Amino acid sequence: MSDVIIITGAGQRLGLHCALTLKQAGFQVLATYRSEKAGVQQMRDAGINCYQLDVCDTEQLSEFISHIKQHYQKLRAVIHNASDWRADAITDVSNNVSNDAAIYDAMQAVHAKAPYIINRALAPLLANSSVADIIHITDFVASVGSSKHMAYAASKSALTNLTFSFARALAPKVKVNAIAPALLMFNQDDSDAYKTKALNKSLLQLEPGANEMANCVTYLLNSRYITGKVLELDGGRPLNLP
């Protein structure tokens, strides 16, 4: 049986493209998705095992982990792609405490708590594989913050730190790395003004698309000597200085 790779939040866009690419490369892919979307059926049609999972639902997470342990003896990789790009609440709304708390908790739950739980539970199955990877999909803003997505950025920073901890804890059997994209793919509702502003933030001034992440995932899977690293897919954004 071909090596099994789990990827979370794969119902659309970058995760969907990555799942299809890995399947085409010969891996057995188990893709989790939260909402039924066209991309999920596309994955089924491609022979990908699709599993409905809200990673913030602890009961669903527990059932998922039990399912994996019942059906697989080893895992080639786990890719934590699931994400909710939620902006902070508008600050002029009074008594934002409960709203701020909800947003902060939601960001930590999807981006840090779920990968922490899944990695610790599935580490033994990864260790059974001759080569194994955990890949955290973080974000450029994990290293510099964000004025409008503070909670999101903080949670991606937590995921970055988990990369270092799991790399230390699971070596030498499991490689653990992060991919930190800046702009890779716009959203459908992004305005032309937003797109122009976003493109101008990087030196290379382009929207590379989903293949940029899929190529980086493939590179990490093929490497035998990279762990505890953050691969920055940012078009030179940090150097785009006045």
Ligand X SMILES: Nc1nc2c(c(=O)[nH]1)N=C([C@H](O)[C@@H](O)CO)CN2
Ligand Y SMILES: NC(=O)C1=CN([C@@H]2O[C@H](COP(=O)(O)OP(=O)(O)OC[C@H]3O[C@@H](n4cnc5c(N)ncnc54)[C@H](OP(=O)(O)O)[C@@H]3O)[C@@H](O)[C@H]2O)C=CC1
Would you please indicate which residues are annotated as catalytic (active-site) residues? 152
Residues in binding contact with ligand Y, number by CB under 6 A: 25
Residue 48, C-beta contacts closer than 8 angstroms, at least 6 positions apart: 19, 20, 23, 29, 30, 31
Could you tell me if 230 and 180 are in contact, meaning their C-beta atoms sit under 8 angstroms apart?
A: yes
Q: Residue type at 36?
A: E
Task: State which of positions 88-147 bind ligand Y (CB under 6 A).
Answer: 110, 137, 139
Nearer to ligand X, 2 or 194 (CB): 194
Q: Is 13 in the site for ligand Y (CB under 6 A)?
A: yes
What, of ligand X, ligand Y, none, does residue 212 touch, CB below 5 to 8 Å by kind?
A: none
Q: Answer with the entry of ligand Y, ligand X, none that 198 interacts with (C-beta below 5 to 8 A by kind).
A: ligand X
Q: Which two tokens stand for residue 110?
A: 């999807």
Residues 22-81 that bind ligand X (CB under 6 A): none
Helix (H) or strand (E) holding 199: helix 192-199
Q: Which of 2, 17, 10 is nearest to 185 (CA)?
A: 17
Strands 132-137 and 174-181: parallel
Q: By CB under 6 A, tell whether 85 contacts ligand X.
A: yes
- Select 124 or 145, whichever has its Cβ closest to ligand Y: 145
Residue type, 19: A
Residues at the contact surface with ligand Y, assessed by CB under 6 A: 9, 11-15, 34-35, 37, 53-56, 81-85, 110, 137, 139, 181, 183-185
Residues at the contact surface with ligand X, assessed by CB under 6 A: 83, 85, 139, 182-183, 187, 198
